[in-house]
Structure 1
Amino acid sequence: NEIEKGRQTEEYIIMEMKTDLNLLLECLKYQMDNPFSQKEALVTIHSICQQNNNAGVYFREIGGLMFVKNLAKSSEHSMVKEAALYTLGAVAEKNVYCQQTLCTSELFEDLTLFLSNDDSNTNLKRMSVYVILGLVSNNSNGQTLVRETGCITVLSQLFRTVLSKYELNLSDKNVFQSYQLWSSVCSTLCVCVNNPQNDENQMFCCSLFSHANEWLTNCMKPEIIRPICSFIGLTLANNTYVQKYFISVGGLDVLSQVLVQLESDSHKALSSAKLAVVVTKTVDACIADNPAFGVVLSKYHIVSKLLTLLSNESLDSGEKFSIILALGHCTEYCGKDWDLPW
């Protein structure tokens, strides 16, 4: 009886979900002159699709997915475009079949246009990046299209230009909105190069290393260091050519200098110790396949710094393991010029 009741309840929930989506789609179609109603309907669709993996599939079957995609392109109201993109991103993120349906050159070209258009506000650009993230995540076809349509070129331009001041006053509303866009761009570039690993996109993203180095040199805030370290670590992971290029533009030197500063601050602040581990992982990604590159680290006494960091009792076992792993790669090809404490 309990099993039967459970089955009936599940069927009722599914039927209710389908009814709601049908009504919401009708609302979208017949409220073309009411952007506020359309936005409200789109936000509700987003919520339903987030809560139920099958909702996105049904919404696609009744033509809702394509209608929302066209609405994002054709609506004259920015709030409707933003809400439509917000819905598309969520559906692509939650359901692989919907992701495949949306993963077309046409949509990438539309998103590229939104991102490159000076009339697009910051939130519209952020929602566009959110859709790209959903299309590219765990999707080699999406990674190819993001490159072939020129979308990754626009993303790289945003990476360079969205944030213009190293002071990064996040209490300023406009600066904070720009930072949110920049952070989203970083996350999206990360999935463009990784999971699955994409060599061509990694090669493309090499051009951003010098800009990343400048930010690491001029801004020691965790809001900058964490996303940039993720971007660097994934862009050069398992790619010898990219690792060599990163070192050639001074990347390993910059990371070493940041690590030295954070380790020095770690005695006073736990946050600095944990951030130092983040940088350590990035350094390790750079030398893991090429331990000989570790000789660059000797002039910064990195082995000694890592050993000191390892003794920090505030770090958990996972963080200490990352430090030990980096130490292993640092000392694998050690010679007379190495900075070893013994």
Structure 2
Amino acid sequence: METQKVQKKQCDMKTDLNLLLECLKYQMDCPVSQKEALITIYSICQQNSEASEYFREIGGLMFINDLAKSNVHCIVKEAALFTLGIIIESNVYCQQTLCTSALFEDLILFLINKDSGVNLKRMSVYVILVLVSNNKSGQTYVRDTGCIGLLLQLFRTTLSISEINLSDENTNQCYQLWSSVCSTLCACVNNPQNEDNQNICCSVFPYAKEWLESCTEPEIVRPICSFVGLTVANNLYVQKYFVSVGGLDTLAKVLIKLMHDSCMSHSSTKLAVVVTKTLDACIANDSAMGVVLAKYHTVSELLKLLSNDTLDTGEKISIILTIGHCTEVCAEQLSLKINDNSLNVNNVEELDVQVRKRSLQDYWKKANEILHRIKLIENERDE
């Protein structure tokens, strides 16, 4: 009985997709009907790999691809691109089918066309995102076609640093595009790590630094920290460049501000953890770069953050590992001021219990090593 229900459901799905495809083909003079058909198609295919694969087999995927490029109404282009993105995201074979230099070049045209609205650009960026996600070939195409350069240009120019008002509808639309660009750049450099793309993307670090200096709102800080953290990850050249443009100094200052704000705001505490993880990514491959952080007493700030009872174990572990990287160089270089912010023994024991419950003994061993290192530094200062 259950098998029959599944088979009927699959049969109905295939029938619906066939009818919807026919509707798309024979409603070329009715944009509203085409848009409604596309909405129904992506609602069927969303997170449904089997439906997406079947739609590809009956020629629907390529038809929508051609539809998006044709001289149709803007609302149809937007819906077609979004539907393509949903299907690509749902099925790896659909991703492989459409992952071509030709499609990236088509998307570039959408992005540079002066007649393209913000929403059409956002749909184009979404398709780029799903093409490069978990896909080395997509990461290569986005670079070789010059698409990544266009994304970096959008990162620099879509939002005005001096005019951030997300309650304004026009500004909010631009923010949504900018946020999508940030997510797409993250996918270009990460999973799998792509050093060539990392080396290209670091060119906008000075702009990212300006953003962080001008605004500490979560809507800005989170995307930038994700982008910076993934772009510097396991890439010493990019890490050094970020430090050279003053990026590490800026992150340290942002952390200080958030720690001050965290007394009044839980969201600032959570955001401070995000900044901490980014700091760690910047110095993970060369702890000597952490010397920059000494003048900001970053370890003291991290110890304060670590003592916050609202953080979960994973967040505390991230802070501990960052402290570890900050204290790997000698005490003379660090000039730490931690006398008033030593770890509370009860907090350490409580964290130890939580960590062991989650089978994370290795992390706790690291925490003990860091605690021992901090005590040695304190003793040396007392002498």
Smaller-chain TM-score range?
Answer: over 0.9
In the alignment, the residues of structure 2 paired with residue 18 and residue 321 of structure 1 have an alpha-carbon distance, to the nearest angstrom, of 48
Structure number with larger C-alpha Rg? 2
Name 1:298's counterpart in structure 2.
294
Aligned ranges 1:227-266 → 2 under 5 Å: 227-266=223-262
Q: CA deviation at 1:93?
A: 0.6
1:106 aligns with 2:99: no
In the alignment, the residues of structure 1 paired with residue 325 and residue 53 of structure 2 have an alpha-carbon distance, to the nearest angstrom, of 46
In the alignment, the residues of structure 1 paired with residue 327 and residue 161 of structure 2 have an alpha-carbon distance, to the nearest angstrom, of 38
In the alignment, the residues of structure 1 paired with residue 47 and residue 242 of structure 2 have an alpha-carbon distance, to the nearest angstrom, of 42
Name 1:282's counterpart in structure 2.
278
Name 1:222's counterpart in structure 2.
218
Q: CA deviation at 1:167?
A: 4.1
Conserved in 2, the CA contact under 8 Å of 1:48 and 1:55? yes
Q: Tell me, what secondary structure is at the counterpart of 1:88?
A: helix
Conserved in 2, the CA contact under 8 Å of 1:166 and 1:219? no
1:164 aligns with 2:160: yes
Name 1:182's counterpart in structure 2.
178
1:11 aligns with 2:7: yes
* Matched letter for residue 106 of structure 1: A
Name 2:112's counterpart in structure 1.
116
* Matched letter for residue 12 of structure 2: E
Name 2:124's counterpart in structure 1.
128
Size of the alignment, in residue pairs? 338
In the alignment, the residues of structure 2 paired with residue 265 and residue 33 of structure 1 have an alpha-carbon distance, to the nearest angstrom, of 56
Name 2:333's counterpart in structure 1.
337
- Select the residue among 304, 311, 315 that pairs with 2:307: 311
Render the CA deviation track for 1:67-91: whole Å, top value 9, x for unaligned: 0000000033100000000000001
1:45 aligns with 2:52: no
* Matched letter for residue 4 of structure 2: Q
Q: CA deviation at 1:235?
A: 0.3
Q: Tell me, what secondary structure is at the counterpart of 2:219?
A: helix
In the alignment, the residues of structure 2 paired with residue 246 and residue 88 of structure 1 have an alpha-carbon distance, to the nearest angstrom, of 36
Name 1:73's counterpart in structure 2.
69
In the alignment, the residues of structure 2 paired with residue 330 and residue 287 of structure 1 have an alpha-carbon distance, to the nearest angstrom, of 8
* Matched letter for residue 24 of structure 2: L
Unaligned runs of at least 5 residues, structure 2: 339-377, 379-383
Conserved in 2, the CA contact under 8 Å of 1:303 and 1:339? no
Conserved in 2, the CA contact under 8 Å of 1:166 and 1:215? no
1:22 aligns with 2:18: yes
Q: Out of 174-183 and 72-81, give the one that drifted further.
A: 72-81
In the alignment, the residues of structure 2 paired with residue 52 and residue 222 of structure 1 have an alpha-carbon distance, to the nearest angstrom, of 32
In the alignment, the residues of structure 2 paired with residue 202 and residue 88 of structure 1 have an alpha-carbon distance, to the nearest angstrom, of 27
Name 1:209's counterpart in structure 2.
205
- RMSD of aligned alpha carbons: 0.9
Q: Tell me, what secondary structure is at the counterpart of 2:329?
A: coil
Q: Tell me, what secondary structure is at the counterpart of 1:59?
A: helix
Q: CA deviation at 1:268?
A: 1.5
Conserved in 1, the CA contact under 8 Å of 2:67 and 2:80? yes
Conserved in 1, the CA contact under 8 Å of 2:47 and 2:90? no
Q: CA deviation at 1:51?
A: 4.7
* Matched letter for residue 72 of structure 1: A
Q: CA deviation at 1:337?
A: 2.8
Render the CA deviation track for 1:297-339: whole Å, top value 9, x for unaligned: 0010001111111111121211111111100010011331313
Q: CA deviation at 1:117?
A: 1.1
Render the CA deviation track for 1:205-257: whole Å, top value 9, x for unaligned: 01110000000000111100000000000000000000011111111011011
In the alignment, the residues of structure 2 paired with residue 89 and residue 137 of structure 1 have an alpha-carbon distance, to the nearest angstrom, of 11
In the alignment, the residues of structure 2 paired with residue 10 and residue 151 of structure 1 have an alpha-carbon distance, to the nearest angstrom, of 42
- For normalisation by structure 1, the TM-score amounts to 0.97
Q: Tell me, what secondary structure is at the counterpart of 2:29?
A: coil
Name 1:95's counterpart in structure 2.
91
Displaced runs of 4 or more, over 3 A: none
In the alignment, the residues of structure 2 paired with residue 337 and residue 57 of structure 1 have an alpha-carbon distance, to the nearest angstrom, of 58
Name 1:55's counterpart in structure 2.
51
1:199 aligns with 2:195: yes
Conserved in 1, the CA contact under 8 Å of 2:161 and 2:211? no
Conserved in 2, the CA contact under 8 Å of 1:187 and 1:231? yes
Conserved in 2, the CA contact under 8 Å of 1:302 and 1:339? no
Q: Tell me, what secondary structure is at the counterpart of 1:337?
A: helix
In the alignment, the residues of structure 1 paired with residue 316 and residue 164 of structure 2 have an alpha-carbon distance, to the nearest angstrom, of 31
Conserved in 2, the CA contact under 8 Å of 1:229 and 1:279? yes
- For normalisation by structure 2, the TM-score amounts to 0.87
Q: Out of 316-325 and 297-306, give the one that drifted further.
A: 316-325
Conserved in 1, the CA contact under 8 Å of 2:161 and 2:214? no
In the alignment, the residues of structure 2 paired with residue 39 and residue 193 of structure 1 have an alpha-carbon distance, to the nearest angstrom, of 34
Higher relative contact order (CA 8 A, sep 6+): 1
Conserved in 1, the CA contact under 8 Å of 2:189 and 2:195? yes
Render the CA deviation track for 1:25-74: whole Å, top value 9, x for unaligned: 00000000000000000011000001521011111111100000000000
Name 2:364's counterpart in structure 1.
none
Q: CA deviation at 1:166?
A: 3.3
In the alignment, the residues of structure 1 paired with residue 329 and residue 48 of structure 2 have an alpha-carbon distance, to the nearest angstrom, of 52
In the alignment, the residues of structure 2 paired with residue 98 and residue 204 of structure 1 have an alpha-carbon distance, to the nearest angstrom, of 28
